[in-house]
Chains A and B, each alone.
Chain A
């Protein structure tokens, strides 16, 4: 994968895919530099007017306490994108790790893991997350872990079916006959060939995670003040809903542009392969 081949792949994306890519890159950039380009500190009461509309000084108006919405959005995006990225990484590492164990390990390991994951997958994810939050609370670290664990079973299921399919192939049999250990089989023979199809699942799971995190924060069960992700911003400003305040629409649209962007990108990328 060098720069030119990536550029060529990008140029071949349909327009929807390019839009998705731009949105995704935009939000990654905002997550990286957002707090540094914010015009005001996110906690400062910059505007005397609450729920002010857009103006030259306050591009996205002010929130229910008169704070600058743009500044709060720029620092909230970091939590939403960053926390979701960490959570999806944890979920995929655990899920795919277990999947590889199930695929190359002895039969009883596969049986045990598959049974356990089948059980967890029959608990709807939002319900599961609510039970976990009720039991453990939602500090930053625990919240990330809870969201990650919620999406482990889904990733396990996809990764296991990919890995089991690969393990049956001749080249893995040959490696096994060569006397390679299970760790080698899993990491050197099977994993590299799963990466591409796994990417679509990772993207999809990232979307689910962003939605779950914002949903929990919207319910007041996610990130706790003074930290605020985009979902918390929507929650804070619900009192402005009746007047159609920008303070509630802006963060909601921000979340949607991130999730829709990822979805468009995955769709375009996977369709290109099928053609």
Chain B
């Protein structure tokens, strides 16, 4: 894209996007400060944690010095930030391994789970959102509304329990824990992922479906829709050619939000199905109070969330022709 030339119609949107990127970056730095501060507020610090109850004050002081915990907080924060930014957030206190190694082993698993859930949930959410928007106020819409309303409020472990009961215990179709074999065939792969994806998808479908419905209905009330109807545009063309392109902004925003909800759900789902992903790793880090690992996981989730929101903002800006006049 030759965006730099002043006459380009893309100049307006590009400055906006550059601003958004800058803001996201500032937010990320602020978030890192929050996470570092909170996890540094431990009553006893990491040295105490490593040595346990029986340690003498001298031993603790020595280890604190060795770990660099006796230096000023600001200095430690900057070093930590440098480590995180360069991809080396230090060593895990529990596993005695570099945090980066542990994470890089788990991260692909969570990405696969999140990716599959997105592929499964987004089309269904669109279907539900569009269907209930066009039947607004009628019985189909009311039924879908009640269904999604209940689905958003279900705890993941209830959906998981029911799924295990139905598919593993009664029907004996699917395994109740997720073990992906080495070099799986497509069938094995789908069987392993069917339940976690289904459970994780329920919340995403409900939330995204509701937001898509709201976005479309907001457009349906606009005068241009009335105009198109009077012109005799078919309902299908009205939704797909007129309404959806105009609702892109709110819809991509809704997608970013519900994908971030997916991370929260993954914490429960990965634990239930003993799936070795990043979210269950983070839970383990909390249980063992492995702060370097926990901080790195938290930063990774926050950065991904900010990135998703940034992408959504960018798409919304690019999709808005009014900003393209230059």
Interface mask (B144-167 → A, CB under 8 Å = 1, otherwise 0) = 011001101111111001101100
Query: Is A123 a contact partner of B294 (Cβ separation < 8 A)?
Result: no
B286 lies within 8 A of chain A by Cβ: yes
Query: Is B301 a contact partner of A124 (Cβ separation < 8 A)?
Result: yes
Least CB distance, B129 to chain A, in whole angstroms:
16
The CA of A126 and the CA of B271, in the complex, are separated in Å by 14
Q: Knowing A122-B306, A124-B260 touch, does A243 contact B267 (C-beta < 8 A)?
A: no
A255 lies within 8 A of chain B by Cβ: yes
Best-buried of A125, A133, A259 by chain B (most CB within 10 Å): A259
Least CB distance, A16 to chain B, in whole angstroms:
6
Query: Is A134 a contact partner of B294 (Cβ separation < 8 A)?
Result: yes
Query: Is B155 a contact partner of A256 (Cβ separation < 8 A)?
Result: yes
Interface mask (A192-229 → B, CB under 8 Å = 1, otherwise 0) = 00000000000000010001001100111100000000
The CA of A244 and the CA of B35, in the complex, are separated in Å by 40
B41 lies within 8 A of chain A by Cβ: yes
Contacts of A136 in B (CB 8 A): 41
Query: Is A242 a contact partner of B176 (Cβ separation < 8 A)?
Result: yes
Contacts of B164 in A (CB 8 A): 241-242
Query: Is A219 a contact partner of B271 (Cβ separation < 8 A)?
Result: yes
Least CB distance, B223 to chain A, in whole angstroms:
21
**Which residue of chain B is the closest to A249 with respect to CB atoms?**
B161
> B31, B161, B286: which contacts A134 (Cβ < 8 A)?
B286
Least CB distance, B14 to chain A, in whole angstroms:
23
Query: Is A255 a contact partner of B155 (Cβ separation < 8 A)?
Result: yes
The CA of A215 and the CA of B157, in the complex, are separated in Å by 8
Size of chain A's interface in residues, with CB distance under 8 A? Answer: 45
A3 lies within 8 A of chain B by Cβ: no
**Which residue of chain B is the closest to A241 with respect to CB atoms?**
B164
Contacts of B35 in A (CB 8 A): 123, 131
Query: Is A134 a contact partner of B291 (Cβ separation < 8 A)?
Result: yes
Size of chain B's interface in residues, with CB distance under 8 A? Answer: 52
> A125, A231, A260: which contacts B149 (Cβ < 8 A)?
A260
Q: Knowing A120-B34, A259-B154 touch, does A241 contact B176 (C-beta < 8 A)?
A: yes
Contacts of B96 in A (CB 8 A): none
Query: Is B260 a contact partner of A135 (Cβ separation < 8 A)?
Result: no
Query: Is A122 a contact partner of B302 (Cβ separation < 8 A)?
Result: yes
Contacts of B261 in A (CB 8 A): 124
> A126, A134, A241, A253: which contacts B267 (Cβ < 8 A)?
A126
> A126, A135, A259, A267: which contacts B41 (Cβ < 8 A)?
A135
A152 lies within 8 A of chain B by Cβ: no
Best-buried of A125, A248, A252 by chain B (most CB within 10 Å): A252
Query: Is A252 a contact partner of B157 (Cβ separation < 8 A)?
Result: yes
**Which residue of chain B is the closest to A137 with respect to CB atoms?**
B43
A132 lies within 8 A of chain B by Cβ: yes
Query: Is B298 a contact partner of A211 (Cβ separation < 8 A)?
Result: no
Least CB distance, A234 to chain B, in whole angstroms:
6
Contacts of B260 in A (CB 8 A): 124
B125 lies within 8 A of chain A by Cβ: no
List A residues 234-275 near B (Cβ within 8 Å). 234, 238, 241-244, 248-249, 252-253, 255-256, 259-260, 262-264, 267
Query: Is B169 a contact partner of A242 (Cβ separation < 8 A)?
Result: yes
Interface mask (B253-269 → A, CB under 8 Å = 1, otherwise 0) = 00000001101100110
Query: Is A255 a contact partner of B31 (Cβ separation < 8 A)?
Result: no
> B38, B150, B168, B264: which contacts A124 (Cβ < 8 A)?
B264
Least CB distance, B270 to chain A, in whole angstroms:
10
8 A-B pairs with C-beta separation under 8 A:
A122-B305, A124-B261, A126-B263, A133-B286, A234-B157, A241-B169, A244-B170, A256-B158
List residues of chain B with CB under 8 Å of any chain A CB.
Answer: 27-28, 30-31, 34-35, 38-39, 41-42, 145-146, 149-150, 152-158, 161-162, 164-165, 168-170, 176, 260-261, 263-264, 267-268, 271-272, 282-283, 285-287, 289, 291, 294-295, 298, 301-302, 305-306, 309
